[in-house]
Structure 1
Amino acid sequence: MTAPDDAELARLQAEAAEAALKLAQAKAALAAAQAEAARSSTGDATSRPPAPAPTESAPTESAPTESAPTESAPTEPESEGPLGPADIAAITKGYTFEGTTLDLGALMNGEPLPSAQIRIPLGMLNRHGLVAGATGTGKTRTLQGLAEQLADKGVPVFAADMKGDLSGMATAGEPSDKLLARTRALGQDWKPEASVVEFFALGGVGKGVPVRATVSGFGPLLLSKVLGLNETQESSLGLVFHYADANGLALVDLSDLRAVLTYLTSDDGKAELKNLGGLSAATAGVILRELITFADGGADVFFGEPEFDVNDFLRTAPDGRGIISLLEVPGVADKPAP
């Protein structure tokens, strides 16, 4: 190892001297800061005024301050019905469908809820349904609304008008303030409109187009049910229909059927009666008596020609709406008399 030369030694000595100077300056600055801090602490303690001695003062009653009345924000009135928000949301979702629907009205929860509409899909109208309720709760109006909406969507409708309540669909309704207020509360935009309606009457008893059927078209099975025949008498009546059909005898009305039975129970028809197999004269006589009673009760007006065609009730109007066919029943509801 070689000794450093004079120049290198001088440089190292200069750097050491400079470092010693900086160290001395730092120590001096630290001492000055400590002294200043000590003086500040002593000055605050001597300049702070002494705390006043506690004095006992008489209690004073503060005057009540009157606060300014605050106006609360209006809140939406809560429904008084038994359903909560979750129930209402679930019901609304359950009656919300895609596609064509029929409106039944708004959900009732004490008051109608326009946002909760009850609807059923048009495609479900081929199923059985029941509208039940006490008198005056809207059963007839519900059926009328269903019929009008079906017809408006091009679906023909056939209905038996038991009391004449459905005939009003043929004319447009009369608007009133009460009616419009009610429909608005239900969330409906009601407009008066008449439906295309045709009236029919059984056997012509009423103002509608007469509806009749032939005895042959009515058939032995249904006629036996109407006459209240037992199984033996029902099968015997079927043999009578078979005899008439085999011999080309048209059974148009009840008089035709009575004529066949009268012939079979006569002396001239005894041979024919034996060929029918199992039809006794006594059974034929019972059927004949029931037919006479049935006709005397007014049922004979239903049988005759021209015979109705079911397609007459399944038609649409030129504008595409379904035709509502109403069958008048009040005139024959109690016939034959019990």
Structure 2
Amino acid sequence: MPEPPRFIRFLVKGSVLISMFIAGCAAVPVNEFSAYRESFDQARRAGEQVLIDYAAAKKEVESLEINKPAEVPSVRAVQFDAEELASRGDAVDAVAVRLRAWEVVAAYNEALLALVEGRPAAQVEAATRNLVDSMANFPVNAFQDLAARVTPVLDVLSTALTELQKAYDRQKALDAMAAVGPVISDGFIRLLIKDSELFYNLRFGLNDRKFRKTIRRIIALRKGFKRLAETAQPGDDITKMVKAINDKLATLPRKSNNRPQVSALKLERSGGADGEVVRSQLADLRDNIFKLTDTALTQTRELSAYREMLVAYVRMVGELDARLRALSRAADSGEATLPQSAELLYSTIRVRQSYLTYRENKQ
């Protein structure tokens, strides 16, 4: 029997996890925390999937820029300035930075879980060290606001780690996590949420470029139909074609000023040309207008589906932030409180579903 699609397997796994949460005390706490980890990992993978699409869009934009004709003929550079190149350093990859942000959030999640679950000192230290490393490796200089907050907190966290390695003190670990928490929520989580604007604007630009090109082709075909139809003898068949074209054009989304994308077709005169050839050419033009209108509608649905995916993504990251805050409170209270993750799973499933809808409409 063939293996079910990956998304179906995810839904099945998600439903099992949700059932565990609803069951409450019916499951062993260890299993419940394991289920929370799984839901967190699923959310992270869904977020990274959105990032991968952004990377593809970014690459497409860069390709368009490279292939754009130069306004002024370029001249080959013959100079090589080693000092200038050395001082410039490596450019920060926008996608890699955001993957690093997810690493920081995941490390913080694990550090909190180590405290909430009451793991041995060595495991708490290891989780704290992983958080220190992930924050230290994050290129904060790419985000000026974030850099001002991460650097001092990283110092606090590093100091706490040194002290923990000498003599384990749970309260010191808690104090360190308390210092990190606001930076995670207001810094890294906020970065992931704010990115949705960047993602949408980039994808909108690409989509709009294709959409406007399609509309221009429709307008050209409409003009061609009008010119040819005005040379032909009038007839019911042409009248029906004009009405069908106008009905089809009316399905296009209107402009921001509420004007139609393509004005209605209206014949102002008629000619004496007759015969099957003219009628056949008009029918071909009509069919091509229909096809391109369908293309424009698909492009519109693609953008709408992408927007819905980002809405689901923002809600998922927001729910993730709520779970992290709840974990922080649980760690501070000293109780092995079960992370309530059903909503996180639901929001992750919504991201996956909307992503599939977006891909189905993508051209």
Same fold (TM > 0.5): no
Which structure dedicates a bigger proportion of its chain to helix? 2
Q: Which structure's CA Rg is the greater one? A: 1
Which structure dedicates a bigger proportion of its chain to strand? 1
TM-score range, shorter chain: under 0.3
Instruction: Return the structure number with greater relative CO, CA threshold 8 A, min gap 6.
Output: 2
Give the TM-score taking structure 2 as reference length.
Answer: 0.23
Give the TM-score taking structure 1 as reference length.
Answer: 0.24
